[in-house]
Amino acid sequence: MANLLLVGCGDLGAGLAARLVASGHRVTALKRTPPAAPLAGVTYRFADLTQPHTLADLGGPFDQVFVILAPGARDAAAYQALYGVGVDQLRARLAGRVGHWFFVSSTSVYGQDAGEWVDEDAPAAPTAATAKWLLTAERCLADAGAPATTVRFSGIYGPGRERLLRQVLAGAPVQYDPPSYTNRIHSDDCLGVLEWLHRRQLAGTGLAPLYLASDDEPAPAGDVARWLAAELGVPAPPAAATDGGQNKRCRNDRLKQAGYRFAYPSWREGYRGVIEQWRAAHTEQMQ
């Protein structure tokens, strides 16, 4: 049985905590506020990384620490407070008490915008201030004095993460020409990747310092929108002007070559289940 700490226990953190408890591990979850529905078998500690005085007693030592954070706002100040100041405070408070760090990051740290393929060896040179602070946190934990593994997730979707469905249903414009590539990963595969890495590390299998986690099929945003519209039985969204935003294609070769198998290799398999659950929920609401 390993002693594990989850720093951040939102949707992904709670899902991972449940899996780790089911595997027989001792799990502590660090949260800013008490959970609405506490998970059986999880010990909760309440602290705010942006408030150093709340980090006095984190416990430990821990075999593994998972840092899975969610800022309260999507602006540079919030990201600086959490990923800049907060992660640095966490590293300092747990110095010498961590066997292995896991940090959940984002493919937004890649600034490529011309449809290029990117992998773990591609340069990370983000243009957005929020992504720059994510990269700062990655580097902070990589220099924490213990082995560290960063996982960069692409756009996460799944039950409860239905923003794209709502946009298609609302007829929000989408860029079709030139193609603007998007990259996605189902939330079940996010949990699967983290649990798989956790098990490999405990078994003594060496991990790379960085993994890019995205499904097998980067796709133009217009293709995804058209497919979703057809599945939902609504008109395809109208065309939008070129937005000049992020436009890259993510490779997952390192994960797959190491042995991870995706539950949802493409967004088509994943979104079919999301659409079914969405329909079921809305049918119940109308009855």
Query: What does the pLDDT look like over 84-138, one tens digit per residue?
Result: 999 999 999 999 999 999 999 999 999 998 999 999 999 999 999 999 999 999 9
* Calpha distance 221→178 (Å, rounded): 10
pLDDT value at residue 149: 98
Strands 181-182 and 219-220: antiparallel
* Calpha distance 266→153 (Å, rounded): 14
With vertex at residue 219, the alpha carbon angle to CA 213 and CA 221, rounded to the nearest 5 degrees, is 115
* Calpha distance 265→59 (Å, rounded): 38
* Calpha distance 17→6 (Å, rounded): 7
pLDDT value at residue 279: 86
Burial class (CB in 10 A: 0-12, 13-18, 19+), 130: buried
Cis peptide before 178 (omega within 30 of 0): yes
Query: DSSP letter at 260?
Result: -
Express as a percent the part of the chain with pLDDT over 90.
Answer: 84
Contact (CB, 8 A) for 36 and 47: no
Task: Provide the b/e sequence for 72-102 (b: ≥16 CB within 10 Å).
Answer: eeeeeeebbbbbbebbbbbbebbeeebbbbb
Q: Is the pTM of this model over 0.85?
A: yes
Mean pLDDT of 171-194: 96
Could you state, in order of their start, the residue ranges of all structural domains in the chain? 3-159+184-218+248-267
The fold of 3-159+184-218+248-267 is Rossmann fold (3.40.50)
Q: Residue 72: is its pLDDT beyond 80?
A: yes
pLDDT value at residue 287: 38
